[in-house]
């Protein structure tokens, strides 16, 4: 594999910050939300019922029939609608400058109760407060409210909306879309008229929209019903869930990850038999990938395919203020799981419990928690049938002890989907709504490079909303394009999207490798070429040996070197010597290794003869420099051969690079079509 490495780091999104801060209203007013659980990608996370001082306006969402909000949707909504809403009104404009992470949000159970004056990082200050203060506060807040404004003059909007739906005879299937559309329109109108509404009313309106959005999400998502008991405070009950209803069929565009996990499913179906037959499995599997690419969904699917219980835990919930709580939760979790084996334990956000940043005052007891986790993982045998799946966006942030053999020693990458994957995901979610015949998912897929599965799902949902707002019967390309642009142009989006210039460089670089491979007789056949970033690489070309190679000929080794050189040569020829990049360093490593082995091991250098030089440290300076000289010559000649080929096939090189820019990933057959000068119709 030849890869172009990058230094691009995925960025963590901060889903709840906007929402939390949106509740800061100008006139020292605060609002409380209660009775509703907020789920992060359908995970459990319950904001407990709590009480606010009665002078504060408050809102019990459960009274309105809402039991859950989905963070992704809240975030979208706030991001897209709130700025317009706040414009020209006296709402403090710095509500989106603070950064309260979703995690600290959930750590701080009371964050919805916003009090006067504090603007930022509330949970952080709270973390620093002493435990006793925190406890005292809990009790103070506890029992006395829910007489809030919304109960007082509770939603004429809600009633009239219900009435409206009845009089309009909206079919049941469309009601949720209708409601959200209604709210969106309402909000827009509100922003236009700029009436002298007081801040309470504004806030209420926002809440109302959020509420409808929540309902929408609830109805839209079949997995939302999968919920667990919360583990607030010292209570640490764990309930598994049978995952029959989620299978690999539900996870689109991550074929390689599914294949890698297939064996785990076999194991879970019958651990004893599997191990008797000599199957060997890791205890822990690390799913690594950007947010929203389906890691959780995959873990659920593993349990579902094998029809075994699924235990969900989020790393952040082990990160406790109180001594021993995190550790005891881990203990309980494993005890339960072992008693119900075979089963899957899923630990989301593994880095937040197993990160290197232990010993920090912010996380006083995390060392303890990690140790407990390690002890539990070491404490059962592979054939006991417990598989632990951890998910993280940042594998490099994990404590090294966690990734040692016998722990999380298998890594499965869950990348952002490529154009084919995106097409499948779009089709899958489109099939859940009504869409026009003219809709071509592939066109949308091509324009959504870098989108995760969750974002594509959201794109389809937003298009459905838009159609509802515009009074359309079904979703057309217009709505899909609209919501695509909306998501693309939103603030902070696409932080990892490779800009066009870099994409172009990558495309030419990878095509360079591919062209050399294609036109060099002894090179291995190409398997595929891609400019989809995966892990630390911006793209790669993979080659497939026709059959297992026992021996390699000199010509084959030289061909491999040439293919390695192709990337840099392409950069130099197309962009000029001044614009070559650092991306070829691993290619050179590769080529140098081959050349070195040819000279020192395989007796393939005339000058040095058929002699091996194993310990180069013990050689005379003359021999050493002769070896270096030979290696240098081999590499230089290889570079020149590659240059010659790329110059000869400049036209094919360009065509291939352009095809890659359009289709991102090309398989062997598609590459052949492009190089033969035919028109490529992908799929
Ligand atoms: N590959 C996919 N195929 C189908 N749906 C997907 C896919 N990826 C994401 N989704 C949708 O997005 C939702 C969120 O994905 P999920 O929670 O599995 O992502 P994740 O990788 O665990 O994200 P995070 O790192 O934020 O926890 C899923 O429940 C599903 O609705
Ligand atoms: Zn390369």
- Ligand 2: centre distance to CA 667 (Å): 17
- Run of H or E including 673: helix 668-675
User: What is the mean predicted confidence (pLDDT) over 371-388?
Assistant: 83
User: What is the mean predicted confidence (pLDDT) over 244-269?
Assistant: 89
Between residues 498 and 157, the one the model is more confident about = 498
What is residue 471's predicted lDDT score, i.e. its pLDDT? 86
Between residues 668 and 50, the one the model is more confident about = 668
What is residue 205's predicted lDDT score, i.e. its pLDDT? 54
Domain 248-413: CATH superfamily is P-loop containing nucleotide triphosphate hydrolases (3.40.50.300)
Q: Which ligand sits nearest to residue 420's alpha carbon? A: 1
User: What is the mean predicted confidence (pLDDT) over 205-214?
Assistant: 55
Helical residues (DSSP H) of 270-396, grouped into ranges? 271-276, 295-306, 315-318, 325-339, 350-354, 366-378
Mean per-residue pLDDT over the chain, rounded: 67
For 93, residues 6+ apart whose C-beta sits below 8 A from its C-beta are 86
Between residues 280 and 186, the one the model is more confident about = 280
Give per-residue pLDDT as tens, 65-113. Answer: 333 344 443 444 334 433 333 333 333 222 222 223 333 333 332 222 2
Give per-residue pLDDT as tens, 629-643. Answer: 999 999 999 999 999
- The band of 42, judged by pLDDT with boundaries at 50, 70 and 90, is very low
Q: Is 510 designated active site?
A: yes
Whether 411 and 536 have beta carbons less than 8 Å apart is answered as no
User: What is the mean predicted confidence (pLDDT) over 344-359?
Assistant: 74
Pocket probe for ligand 1: among 454, 456, 458, the residue whose CB has the most ligand atoms within 8 Å is 454
Atom of ligand 1 nearest to the CA of 43: 17
Between residues 433 and 174, the one the model is more confident about = 433
Residue intervals of the chain classified under CATH 1.10.8.60 are: 419-489
Q: Look at 235-239, 242-246, 258-262, 575-579 and tell me which has the smallest mean pLDDT.
A: 235-239
Between residues 141 and 202, the one the model is more confident about = 202
- Ligand 1: centre distance to CA 671 (Å): 31
Write a three-state SS string for 488-542.
HHCCCCCCCCCCHHHHHHHHHHHHHHHHHHHHCCCCCCEEEEECCCECCEEEEEE
Atom of ligand 1 nearest to the CA of 287: 21
Residue nearest (by alpha carbon) to ligand 1 atom 27: 291
DSSP-derived 3-state class of residue 611: coil
* pLDDT over 50 (residue 123): no
- Ligand 2: centre distance to CA 293 (Å): 26
Angle made by CA atoms 485, 489, 494, in degrees to the nearest 5: 105
Q: Percentage of the chain surpassing pLDDT 90?
A: 23
User: What is the mean predicted confidence (pLDDT) over 553-580?
Assistant: 93
Candidate ranges 97-111, 239-253, 293-307, 549-563; pick with highest mean pLDDT? 293-307
Between residues 564 and 382, the one the model is more confident about = 564
What is residue 354's predicted lDDT score, i.e. its pLDDT? 64
Rounded CA separation 283/54 (Å): 51
Architecture of domain 419-489 in this structure: Orthogonal Bundle (1.10)
Please name the fold of domain 500-676.
Methane Monooxygenase Hydroxylase; Chain G, domain 1 (1.20.58)
Q: Percentage of the chain surpassing pLDDT 70?
A: 56
Ligand 1 proximity of 290 Cβ (cutoff 6 Å): no
What is residue 212's predicted lDDT score, i.e. its pLDDT? 55
- The band of 445, judged by pLDDT with boundaries at 50, 70 and 90, is confident
- Ligand 1: centre distance to CA 292 (Å): 4
Between residues 645 and 85, the one the model is more confident about = 645
Measured in residues, the chain has a length of 683
Q: Which of 349, 510, 572, 664 is catalytic?
A: 510
* pLDDT over 90 (residue 198): no
For 7, residues 6+ apart whose C-beta sits below 8 A from its C-beta are none
Would you say the pTM of this structure is higher than 0.80? no
Q: Look at 93-107, 408-422, 506-520, 544-558 and tell me which has the smallest mean pLDDT.
A: 93-107
- ipTM comes to 0.94
- Whether residue 187 is preceded by a cis peptide bond, meaning omega within 30 degrees of 0, is no
Rounded CA separation 127/233 (Å): 15
* pLDDT over 70 (residue 497): no
Residue intervals of the chain classified under CATH 1.20.58.760 are: 500-676
Q: Please report, for the chain, how many H helices and E strands are present, in that order.
A: 26, 14
Ligand 1 proximity of 292 Cβ (cutoff 6 Å): yes
């Amino acid at each position: 594999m030849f890869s172009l490495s990058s230094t691009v780091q995925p960025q963590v999104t901060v889903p709840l910050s906007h929402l939390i801060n949106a509740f800061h209203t100008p006139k020292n007013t605060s609002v409380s939300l209660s009775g509703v659980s907020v789920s992060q990608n359908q995970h459990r996370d319950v904001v407990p019922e709590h009480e606010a001082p009665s002078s504060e306006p408050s809102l019990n969402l459960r009274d309105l029939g809402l039991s859950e909000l989905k963070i992704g949707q809240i975030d979208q909504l706030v991001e897209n609608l709130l700025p317009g809403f706040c414009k020209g009104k006296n709402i403090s404009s710095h509500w989106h400058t603070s950064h309260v992470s979703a995690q600290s949000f959930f750590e701080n159970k009371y964050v919805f109760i916003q009090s006067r004056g504090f603007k930022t990082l509330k949970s952080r200050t709270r973390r620093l407060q002493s435990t006793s203060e925190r406890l005292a506060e809990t009790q103070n807040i506890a029992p006395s409210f829910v007489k809030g404004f919304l109960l007082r003059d509770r939603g004429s909007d809600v009633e009239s909306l219900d009435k409206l739906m009845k009089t309009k005879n909206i079919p049941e299937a469309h009601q949720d879309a209708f409601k959200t559309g209604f709210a969106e329109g309402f909000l827009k109108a509100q922003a236009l008229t700029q009436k002298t509404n007081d801040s309470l009313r504004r806030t209420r309106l926002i809440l109302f929209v959020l509420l409808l959005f929540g309902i929408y999400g609830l109805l839209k998502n079949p997995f939302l019903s999968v919920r667990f008991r919360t583990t607030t405070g010292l209570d640490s009950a764990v309930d598994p869930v049978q995952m029959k209803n989620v299978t690999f069929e539900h996870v689109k565009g991550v074929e390689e990850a599914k294949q890698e996990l297939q064996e785990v499913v076999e194991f879970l179906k019958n651990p004893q038999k599997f191990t008797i037959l000599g199957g060997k499995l890791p205890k822990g599997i690390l799913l690594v990938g950007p947010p929203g690419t389906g890691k959780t969904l995959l873990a659920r699917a593993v349990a579902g395919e094998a029809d075994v219980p699924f235990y969900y835990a989020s790393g952040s919930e082990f990160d406790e203020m109180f001594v021993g709580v995190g550790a005891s939760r881990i203990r309980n979790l494993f005890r339960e799981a072992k008693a119900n084996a075979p089963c899957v334990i899923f630990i989301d956000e593994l880095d937040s419990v197993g990160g290197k940043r232990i010993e920090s005052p912010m996380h006083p007891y995390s060392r303890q928690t990690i140790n407990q986790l390690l002890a539990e993982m070491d404490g059962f045998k592979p054939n006991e049938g417990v598989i632990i799946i951890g998910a993280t966006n940042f594998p490099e942030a994990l404590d090294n002890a966690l990734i040692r053999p016998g722990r999380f020693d298998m890594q499965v990458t869950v990348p952002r989907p490529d154009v084919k994957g995106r097409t499948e995901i779009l089709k899958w979610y489109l099939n859940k709504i009504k869409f026009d015949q003219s809709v071509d998912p592939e066109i949308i897929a091509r324009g959504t490079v870098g989108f995760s599965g969750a974002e594509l799902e959201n794109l389809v949902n937003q298009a459905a909303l838009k159609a509802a707002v515009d009074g359309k019967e079904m979703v057309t390309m217009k709505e899909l394009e609209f919501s695509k642009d909306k998501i693309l142009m939103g603030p902070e989006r696409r932080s990892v999207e490779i800009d066009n210039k870099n994409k172009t460089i990558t495309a030419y670089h990878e095509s360079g490798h591919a062209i050399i491979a294609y036109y060099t007789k002894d090179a291995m056949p190409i398997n595929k070429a891609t400019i989809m970033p995966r892990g630390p690489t911006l793209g790669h070309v993979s080659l497939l040996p026709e059959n297992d190679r026992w021996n390699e000929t000199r010509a084959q080794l030289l061909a491999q070197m040439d293919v390695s050189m192709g990337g840099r040569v392409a950069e130099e020829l197309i962009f000029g010597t001044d614009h070559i990049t650092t991306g070829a360093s691993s290619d050179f490593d590769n080529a140098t290794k081959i050349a070195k082995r040819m000279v020192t091991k395989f007796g393939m250098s005339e000058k040095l003869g058929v002699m091996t030089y194993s310990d180069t440290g013990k050689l005379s300076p003359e021999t050493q420099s002769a070896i270096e000289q030979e290696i240098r010559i081999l590499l230089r000649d290889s570079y020149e051969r590659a240059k010659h080929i790329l110059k000869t096939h400049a036209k094919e090189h360009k065509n291939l690079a352009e095809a890659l820019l359009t289709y991102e990933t090309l398989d062997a057959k598609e590459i052949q079509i492009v190089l033969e000068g035919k028109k490529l119709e992908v799929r």
